[in-house]
Amino acid sequence: VPPKVPLPLARTPGDAGQVLCEIPQSPGVQSLYIHIPFCRHKCHYCDFYSIVDARDRQGSFADRLIRELRALSPWGGRPLSTIFVGGGTPSLLSLPLWEQLLAALHEVFDLSNMGTGRGEFTVECNPETVKPDLLKVLRSGGVNRLSMGAQSFNPAHLKTLERKHDPASVARAIDMARNVGFERLSVDLIFAIPGQTLEDWRTDLNTVLSLELEHVSAYALTYEPNTPLGVRLARGEVQRVDEELEADMFALTRSVLHDAGLPAYEVSNFAKPGSECRHNLAYWRQEWWLAAGPSASAHVGGHRYKNVVRLDDYLGESRDGFAPIRDYEAPDPRRALSEWIMTGLRLREGIDARLLGARAEALDPRAPARVGALTHRLREQGLLAGCERLALTESGILIADRIIVDFLRALDP
């Protein structure tokens, strides 16, 4: 049995109590998420933590982040399999700070997988902030995948989202990235934007296909209550697209991308076979990942937690380099099984049927019978397929949320 080492986490700023996650020292946690909280402008739909006009704080943030990475490094896999730097807009971090951050990552973690096909190191970029110098620094620092936020290629819809980039900057950034040697590129899109028609969305899909990418993410617009767009919706200043149109857009996405050689491997994610995002698969398979930076969320040893959100709190509080955490959840078999079902059924690979039965039985000896009856009914309705692995069919995917709720209900007496 590999030795287990406790990861000491301070629950809240100033809290003396600690959470101890028992983590096997080998192979360690294979994935790492890093949150860079700077943006040039706040998009109206976005509820990720980020701040604008904060260039003067980038230096102190980078110092603090590097101290946190040093503290976390003993729990990182040797070597790490995936790193994802998200935000915010990581490509806004200045070049010297990127150089410092990459040097620190190489110093404190084993990144030897990143130079081979075995490791995946992704950085999110805003297309307008991508410059050849930055791309060269990222590439030589082991970054081998870029994820670009395009959201739409239609200026009117970008305006509704309050995205400030020029749609043509996406193709320019992709070209630049290819010239520097990036082979794994992804673009994020949003559909169901107020005022968007099915034909507008088809045009966006065709535009993204013309970029000949390996990976596309396409999400329906969500209205978070704490965002300007959510407030405008509540005031009646914008209207959601109607449900039927949104469903048509979703179905169109799946068929157009599938026919172009990018089948869905998750409800909203599409890739050429072999180009799936391994970091996100680690999330959806409920593997473990470390997290660094304000508001970054981690899952280790069954514990889930989120770092303090505000940059000031993150900069101000530290114990031996660790960030204080909030939203802590202790290991809980019921929650872990629910999360595994929720994310696993959104994957094309589905979930292991035998493991589902065993985990359900561990909660309640009668749960496997209820889950079995549900599985049988869904199969008869053509919504679920597979024996060893259970996966939603194309019709099942269209009502994935409802089916997942049914599975979660079947766990309870």
Binding-site ranges for ligand SF4 (CB under 6 A): 39, 42-43, 46, 48, 50, 87-89, 126, 149
Which CB, 43 or 411, lies closer to ligand SF4? 43
CA distance 150 to 127: 7
Mention every residue, 6+ apart, whose C-beta is less than 8 A from residue 311: 37, 51, 54, 57, 61, 294
Which CB, 179 or 222, lies closer to ligand SF4? 222
Which CB, 73 or 186, lies closer to ligand SF4? 186
Indicate the DSSP class of residue 52. E
CA distance 377 to 399: 15
Question: Closest approach of Cβ 35 to ligand SF4, in Å?
Answer: 10
CA distance 239 to 232: 9
Residue 381 near residue 340 (C-beta atoms within 8 A): no
Which CB, 45 or 121, lies closer to ligand SF4? 45
Which CB, 149 or 396, lies closer to ligand SF4? 149
CA distance 158 to 167: 8
Question: Closest approach of Cβ 46 to ligand SF4, in Å?
Answer: 3
Residue 21 near residue 301 (C-beta atoms within 8 A): yes
Which pair of tokens denotes residue 383?
């919504």
Which pair of tokens denotes residue 97?
């700070």
Indicate the DSSP class of residue 92. G
Among 107, 111, 99, 147, residue whose Cα is nearest residue 127: 147
Question: Closest approach of Cβ 38 to ligand SF4, in Å?
Answer: 8
Mention every residue, 6+ apart, whose C-beta is less than 8 A from residue 200: 154, 157
Which CB, 145 or 370, lies closer to ligand SF4? 145
Residue 367 near residue 411 (C-beta atoms within 8 A): yes
Question: Closest approach of Cβ 149 to ligand SF4, in Å?
Answer: 5
Question: Closest approach of Cβ 349 to ligand SF4, in Å?
Answer: 29
Question: Closest approach of Cβ 48 to ligand SF4, in Å?
Answer: 5
Which CB, 42 or 159, lies closer to ligand SF4? 42
Burial class of residue 198 (count of CB atoms within 10 Å of its CB; 0-12, 13-18, 19+): middle
CA distances from 233 to 102, 140, 158, 163, 359 (A): 41, 44, 17, 17, 41
Look up tokens 């869905």; give the residue. 264
Residue 192 near residue 164 (C-beta atoms within 8 A): no
Which CB, 43 or 143, lies closer to ligand SF4? 43
Indicate the DSSP class of residue 129. G
Question: Closest approach of Cβ 42 to ligand SF4, in Å?
Answer: 5
In a 13 Å sphere around the CA of 240, the CA atoms on its Cβ side amount to 15
Position with the least CB separation from ligand SF4: 46
Question: Closest approach of Cβ 225 to ligand SF4, in Å?
Answer: 16
Question: Closest approach of Cβ 150 to ligand SF4, in Å?
Answer: 11
Which CB, 29 or 291, lies closer to ligand SF4? 291
